[in-house]
Chain A
């Protein structure tokens, strides 16, 4: 006789962790940023020396600090998911608040970076490198803002599902940055 309580492992779409719509959003965003970064690398071929010179105006150390900030924020969001699954709402909210605060820290550092570029007279038209720089990092910063809003909404209505979906968006923002940072700032 078969054990009725035994569950078969999920397959296909059902095996995907979290919400399917969030995965569709994540894949869409990754495709957009992926295309942007590939275009950046492609255009770089037309003027490698100009791109290298333009890159010297970026501060890789500050961007490295921002990477640590965002990755740590992602870790806190992942801990919020675990707390939510254990039913600890207060702990979930604390982790989400901490993740959001680090998101704000990321934006403040990014804002200081933009202010520094502006003070140097660098804008979209200075070089095609900076067109990509402002477009990709600016679009990413908008996603950080959207992520902070989503985490705030999740903190308001904490459920394991909401927390997982909100954290998944935040991890997508994290994932984009770990690819954008080396390509834009370090190569």
Chain B
């Protein structure tokens, strides 16, 4: 993915999560959707902006740690609902 495509993806995902929250999407499914969009954005920054798409093994490692972290955050969001 090029840096410009990554930027467009990040803009679209950011607007998507803001719209989701702004127009009253509430409840656990909205929270999980918002966190999933944040997860994808973080992956795009790691892979494209920080260049981990050119270092697949490091990309997988960072992706795995991020996945564990985001699942933990999602678990806490579910517990708070």
Binding site for B on A (CB under 8 A): 10-11, 15-18, 26, 34, 37-38, 41-42, 44-45, 48, 51, 60-61, 64, 67-68, 71-72, 74-75, 77-79, 82, 167-168, 171-172, 174-175, 178-179, 181-183, 185-187
The secondary-structure label for the interface of chain B is helix
A-B residue pair count with CB separations less than 8 angstroms: 117
Q: A17-B55, A74-B45, A183-B38 are in contact. Are A41 and B73 (CB under 8 A)?
A: yes
Residues of chain A contacted by B54 (CB below 8 angstroms): 17
Q: A61-B18, A71-B14, A175-B46 are in contact. Are A182 and B34 (CB under 8 A)?
A: yes
Q: A38-B76, A41-B77 are in contact. Are A178 and B6 (CB under 8 A)?
A: no
Please list 7 pairs of residues, one from A and one from B, whose beta carbons are closer than 8 Å in the complex, sorted by A's number: A64-B15, A64-B22, A78-B3, A178-B45, A181-B38, A182-B35, A183-B38
Q: Is the CB of A75 within 8 A of B7?
A: yes
Separation of A186 and B48 alpha carbons in the complex (Å): 25
Which of the listed residues B14, B17, B21, B31 has the most CB atoms from chain A within 10 Å of its own CB? B14
Chain B 19-43 interface mask (CB, 8 Å, partner A; 1/0): 0111000000001001101100110
Q: A74-B45, A178-B14, A185-B21 are in contact. Are A16 and B76 (CB under 8 A)?
A: no
Interface size of B by CB at 8 A reads 39
Q: Which of A16, A38, A44, A51 contacts B72 (CB 8 A)?
A: A38
The secondary-structure label for the interface of chain A is helix
Q: Is the CB of B69 within 8 A of A44?
A: no
Q: Which of B7, B11, B17, B80 contacts A48 (CB 8 A)?
A: B80
Separation of A78 and B17 alpha carbons in the complex (Å): 24
Q: Is the CB of B69 within 8 A of A34?
A: yes
Separation of A31 and B47 alpha carbons in the complex (Å): 18
10 further A-B contacts with Cβ under 8 Å, apart from A37-B73, A168-B50, are: A10-B55, A15-B55, A17-B50, A38-B73, A64-B22, A74-B7, A75-B7, A78-B3, A175-B46, A186-B17
Residues of chain B contacted by A10 (CB below 8 angstroms): 55
Residues of chain A contacted by B41 (CB below 8 angstroms): 71, 178
Q: Write the chain B residue with the least CB distance to A167.
A: B49
Q: Is the CB of A187 within 8 A of B7?
A: no
Residues of chain B contacted by A178 (CB below 8 angstroms): 10, 14, 38, 41-42, 45
